[in-house]
Structure 1
């Protein structure tokens, strides 16, 4: 069965996309820990980040590096934090999280944002790409 991220890639589930290439996709986390929390994934479904081959892994990080400055311009923050947990969805992914304090990286606290709010945030981030 395809992961939820593969279903997003295939257009079966909607997402608030930030950027996309043939190999990678960045989209807002539907359950963000802070406003602007973005997920960056390879389109190829591979469960564990460190199972990616070197080229796909390096490309994922390069793609994330291109997205981070746009998030930082759109969402007031001190920096963009990076987290790789990889337990909740069996599809390699990187979290890009606007940080003003270490508390912003608390995955136990989720924001409740409407689809309209998420769409506005995604559009604002895209405007800086």
Structure 2
């Protein structure tokens, strides 16, 4: 089951990567809830989180936690949101984003047309925070 994430992971579509290893990658969302909204995605094609191998799911969670720490540091956010929604793309992914309140979890409020320069800056902020950790 190939998806847009499969194409991103294969380098067929562009993305602002902040993490890559043999099992998991993380890149900025092109429809962010907040600046710094990052998607953590396994390289293996898995549709739903309930179908993921437990070890792969644990690896995704560990990377999401590391990304979450970096996002929190980069934006000095009081909390970091973590959502596994599963409706947008049929490929397991974790949404990680800085949050100041429950309204930040409203996917009806995503920025459908973010400034590319702002996305580049957000990716740089996360990469810098990851190095600081």
Match of 2:120 in 1: 119
- CA RMSD for the aligned pairs? 1.0
Q: Could you say what secondary structure the match of 1:71 adopts? A: helix
1:26–1:39 contact (8 Å) kept in structure 2: yes
Match of 2:129 in 1: 128
Match of 2:101 in 1: 101
Deviations 1:72-114 (A, max 9, x none): 1111311101111101100000111211010011100122322
Q: For residue 116 of structure 1, report the CA deviation from its aligned partner.
A: 1.6
Deviations 1:38-70 (A, max 9, x none): 110101111011101111011110111111111
Provide structure 1 residue ranges, at least 5 long, that are not aligned to the other structure: none
| Alpha-carbon distance in structure 1 between the residues aligned to 2:76 and 2:13 | 29
Q: TM-score, normalised by structure 1?
A: 0.96
Task: Please list, as runs of the form range in 1=range in 2, the aligned pairs for 1:31-46 lying within 5 A after superposition.
Answer: 31-46=31-46
Between 111-120 and 80-89, report the one with greater CA deviation.
111-120
1:97–1:105 contact (8 Å) kept in structure 2: no
Match of 2:71 in 1: 71
Q: For residue 6 of structure 1, report the CA deviation from its aligned partner.
A: 0.6
Aligned residue pair count = 129
Superposition misfits of 4+ residues, deviation over 2 angstroms: none
Provide structure 2 residue ranges, at least 5 long, that are not aligned to the other structure: none
